[in-house]
A and B are shown apart, each in its own frame.
Chain A
Amino acid sequence: MLCEECRQRQATVHMTKIINNMRSEIHLCEQCASNHEEFASITPFSMNDLIASFMDMGAGHQPFVRSATVKCPACGMDYAKFKKTGMLGCRECYRHFSNELLPVLRKIQSRTEHSGKVPKRSGSSLLLKKQINELRQELKIAVETEAFERAAEIRDRLKALEASYREQGRDIK
């Protein structure tokens, strides 16, 4: 999202404003926000939508080379529009623009790998991996608390899970 005032930089300061009884949302970049007295007590805001400001930096701060006309083959979203709005058009966009996206994700997110909830129906290998990690954690606790019978049980289940994970042709870290 672009700053509503200068239309140059990414908006990182957001507020709900109520003037003359009308409620609206305002989105400004940090520079423009610092000119507003009403933001003084609340800035510096953390960065929320940093997409565009990082886009040009790319990996290793190399100047950006992709032509603005490159489009996602699935939905037709073009790179210029993505850069301007910070929004993607479809799931294929994530693959198509991945060279530009990954450095951005590294900056705005903590890691580039999801470790949370997994939909049960799409699960398979990922769900297995998650279960393996959880069991390893349980095993550690069982060993630490000297619950050896329980530890043996967990170890057996782990072995079975790891075997089926390998059957799917994946490495276990």
Chain B
Amino acid sequence: MSWIEEKGPDRDVVLSSRIRLARNIAGYPFPTMMKDSDAREILDVVKRCFSVSTPFSGRRYSVTHIKDLPMVDRQVLVEKHLASIDLMQHSDVAALIMDDRQRVTIMVNEEDHIRMQCILPGFQLDKAWEMLDRVDDTIEAEVEYSFDDRLGYLTTCPTNVGTGLRASVMMHLPALTVSKQIGAVLQTISKIGLTARGLYGEGSEALGNIYQISNQITLGPSEQDIINNLTVACQRIFEKERMAQQAMLKVSGKQFEDVLWRALGTLTHARVMEIKEFMALMSQLRLGVGLSIIPGLTAENVNELMILGQSGVLNKRAGRELDDADLNVYRAETIRNRLNEILQA
């Protein structure tokens, strides 16, 4: 059970809430200047915090050295938002420590010595912070962090210094995107210290209409202030998105419903599907499920299907690296089968 299959609040618009903390261990240079022997020592120190003999918040943690991990598995971790692309690029010395529910992951020797994250389904930043704060306390009991009285937690990049905290919410904003209000929304949030990322593909529209909103400022406000600021902004955006959805439903009625049902039709019958088309259809399906127009499916089903259709996950499932043509056929087949299975259950 990870954020993908679990139920979360506000799941009609929110996929996941994530908190990341950047920390460095005192007495070692940051990863930009450290030697391989430093990296090994750091990994040993962090691993010790999660060793089996010292139960950590009652959960089981596994340690994976990135260099031992096949490429396809690395891609799967990134697609599931459990590790960063950056971690994979530091593969010689990097490691990933993960709990058995895939909620808490600790990336070691990424841009900073330690990048820990907690990712939860739906909108629950407070709970994610509460959990990660405890993980941070437990690591701190074993190691001394690089900390400055004035600047707070010292990070490799000064954009993370202070709290070292990056909170982000992954959300689905189809109606704001289609109605072209998204530009204004993103402009507004940039004025209050927040930043947005789109999950993009080729062409002009956001891939799957999925956006990630996070805090830009890490130094000055406290952790709770940062989270509160982001929470309030997100709630406004959800409100706007829901209003835009209702407006579309009211104005376009049957035509709007038709688009959503056709998405289901295509997903259950297509034989070839590119990632871009897939993400667009998943967005329509998610909207149909969220508005209770399409019965028999939940937001969690949609999350599962979305991850299932990602290239790395498909390659892993197939047990080999598929070429693009084969991948598009395999995607259509996998999604078709799983979707029919869910609908018939």
Q: List chain A positions with a Cβ less than 8 A from chain B.
A: 14-25, 37-38, 40-51, 74-77, 85-91, 93-94, 101, 104-105, 108-122, 125-126
Docked pose: A168 CA to B227 CA in angstroms: 33
In the bound complex, do residue A88 and residue B30 qualify as a contact, i.e. CB atoms below 8 Å apart?
yes
Report B217-251 residues with CB < 8 Å from chain A CB. 217-223
Q: Is B194 an interface position by the 8 A CB rule?
A: yes
Q: Which residue of B lies closest to A124 (CB)?
A: B149
- The number of chain B residues with a CB under 8 A from chain A is 77
- Most chain-A Cβ atoms within 10 A of its Cβ — which of B149, B196, B221? B149
In the bound complex, do residue B152 and residue A45 qualify as a contact, i.e. CB atoms below 8 Å apart?
no
Docked pose: A51 CA to B137 CA in angstroms: 30
Q: Is B200 an interface position by the 8 A CB rule?
A: yes
Docked pose: A22 CA to B217 CA in angstroms: 31
Q: List 16 A-B contacts (CB under 8 A).
A: A14-B197, A16-B197, A21-B274, A21-B327, A38-B203, A45-B195, A48-B159, A75-B29, A85-B32, A88-B32, A110-B217, A113-B219, A114-B153, A116-B165, A117-B152, A119-B144
Cβ–Cβ < 8 Å partners of A94 in chain B: 148, 151, 154, 161
In the bound complex, do residue A110 and residue B149 qualify as a contact, i.e. CB atoms below 8 Å apart?
no
Q: Which residue of A lies closest to B186 (CB)?
A: A42
Q: Is B24 an interface position by the 8 A CB rule?
A: yes
Residue from B33, B219, B311 in contact with A89 in the complex, judged by beta carbons closer than 8 Å: B33
Q: Which residue of B lies closest to A118 (CB)?
A: B147
Supposing A20-B324, A116-B163, A116-B223 touch, asked if A51 and B197 sit within 8 A by C-beta, the answer is: no
Cβ–Cβ < 8 Å partners of A37 in chain B: 203-204
In the bound complex, do residue A23 and residue B79 qualify as a contact, i.e. CB atoms below 8 Å apart?
yes
Supposing A41-B177, A51-B158, A114-B162 touch, asked if A89 and B223 sit within 8 A by C-beta, the answer is: no
Cβ–Cβ < 8 Å partners of A86 in chain B: 157-159
In the bound complex, do residue A108 and residue B158 qualify as a contact, i.e. CB atoms below 8 Å apart?
yes
- Looking at the assembled complex, report how far the CB atom of B147 sits from the nearest CB atom of chain A, in whole angstroms: 5
Docked pose: A115 CA to B136 CA in angstroms: 17
In the bound complex, do residue A44 and residue B187 qualify as a contact, i.e. CB atoms below 8 Å apart?
yes
Docked pose: A19 CA to B327 CA in angstroms: 13
Q: List chain B positions with a Cβ less than 8 A from chain A.
A: 24, 26, 28-30, 32-33, 75, 78-79, 85, 111, 133, 136-137, 140, 144-154, 156-159, 161-163, 165, 177, 180, 182-183, 186-187, 189-191, 193-207, 216-223, 274-276, 279, 310-312, 324, 327-328
Residue from A23, A46, A126 in contact with B311 in the complex, judged by beta carbons closer than 8 Å: A23
In the bound complex, do residue A120 and residue B140 qualify as a contact, i.e. CB atoms below 8 Å apart?
yes
In the bound complex, do residue B207 and residue A18 qualify as a contact, i.e. CB atoms below 8 Å apart?
yes
In the bound complex, do residue B223 and residue A42 qualify as a contact, i.e. CB atoms below 8 Å apart?
no
Supposing A41-B206, A110-B217 touch, asked if A51 and B159 sit within 8 A by C-beta, the answer is: yes
Cβ–Cβ < 8 Å partners of B111 in chain A: 87
- Looking at the assembled complex, report how far the CB atom of A117 sits from the nearest CB atom of chain B, in whole angstroms: 6
Nearest 9 CB-CB pairings of A with B: A114-B152, A46-B190, A111-B220, A89-B33, A110-B220, A109-B219, A21-B311, A90-B29, A116-B222
In the bound complex, do residue B144 and residue A121 qualify as a contact, i.e. CB atoms below 8 Å apart?
yes
Cβ–Cβ < 8 Å partners of A93 in chain B: 30
In the bound complex, do residue B163 and residue A114 qualify as a contact, i.e. CB atoms below 8 Å apart?
yes
Supposing A86-B159, A90-B29 touch, asked if A109 and B217 sit within 8 A by C-beta, the answer is: yes
Q: Which residue of B lies closest to A1 (CB)?
A: B157
Q: Which residue of A lies closest to B139 (CB)?
A: A119
Supposing A121-B140, A121-B144, A122-B147 touch, asked if A110 and B196 sit within 8 A by C-beta, the answer is: no
In the bound complex, do residue A42 and residue B183 qualify as a contact, i.e. CB atoms below 8 Å apart?
yes
Q: Which residue of B lies closest to A129 (CB)?
A: B149
Docked pose: A122 CA to B33 CA in angstroms: 24
Cβ–Cβ < 8 Å partners of A88 in chain B: 30, 32, 156-158
Cβ–Cβ < 8 Å partners of B146 in chain A: 91
- Looking at the assembled complex, report how far the CB atom of A14 sits from the nearest CB atom of chain B, in whole angstroms: 6
In the bound complex, do residue B33 and residue A41 qualify as a contact, i.e. CB atoms below 8 Å apart?
no
